[in-house]
């Protein structure tokens, strides 16, 4: 879908609703702007997985799960739990967002996020248009 139509708002509400019902949910934002989880984190911006990987020269063994996954402050009053991560990615027209999302997924799997947090569900808030050819709409 087109940018700015509320996909992240809807996905955040789905994540919250599922956690309110008792599920342990990880919400992964897959937009290069890395702002999908802001609503769930009460406005806080978090570092993107790709940015953390770049700082560590893409050495996953030097990254801790707490560097890339953040607990929602809402967990204090929910029956379940919300964990948040942002994949990050290249600027529009400057690379392949899909590859960035894949790298983020690989990182979360290597760090055993699903097992560590005993997740019931991982929700990916994906872009409406994944650009991989270096072209973007103006």
- pLDDT of res. 17: 97
CB 9 within 8 Å of CB 104: no
9 contacts 39 by C-beta, under 8 angstroms: yes
Q: Where are the domains of the chain?
A: 7-125
Residues 6+ apart with CB under 8 A from 60: 53, 107, 110, 111
The confidence score (pLDDT) of residue 134 equals: 47
Q: What is the set of active-site residues?
A: 2, 7, 33, 129
Q: What is the pLDDT of residues 85-113, one digit of tens each?
A: 999 876 656 666 667 788 889 999 999 99
In a 3-state reduction of DSSP, which class is residue 128? coil
**What is residue 128's predicted lDDT score, i.e. its pLDDT?**
65
Q: Using 50 as the pLDDT threshold, list the residues of the chain that sit under it.
A: 134-135, 138
Give the per-residue pLDDT at 121.
Answer: 96
pTM: 0.86
Residue 114 to residue 24: CA distance in whole angstroms? 10
Superfamily of domain 7-125: P-loop containing nucleotide triphosphate hydrolases (3.40.50.300)
């Amino acid at each position: 879908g087109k940018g700015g139509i509320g996909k992240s708002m809807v996905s955040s509400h789905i994540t919250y609703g599922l956690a309110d019902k008792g599920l342990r949910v990880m919400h992964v934002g897959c937009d290069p702007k890395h702002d999908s989880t802001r609503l769930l984190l009460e406005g806080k911006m978090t570092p993107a997985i790709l940015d953390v990987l770049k700082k560590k020269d893409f050495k996953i063994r030097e990254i801790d799960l707490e560097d890339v996954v953040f607990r929602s402050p809402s967990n204090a009053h929910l029956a379940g739990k919300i964990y948040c991560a942002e994949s990050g990615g290249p600027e529009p027209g400057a690379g392949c967002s899909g590859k960035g999302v894949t790298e983020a997924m690989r990182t979360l799997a290597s760090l055993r996020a699903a097992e560590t947090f005993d997740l019931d569900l991982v929700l990916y808030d994906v872009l409406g248009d994944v650009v991989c050819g270096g072209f973007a709409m103006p």
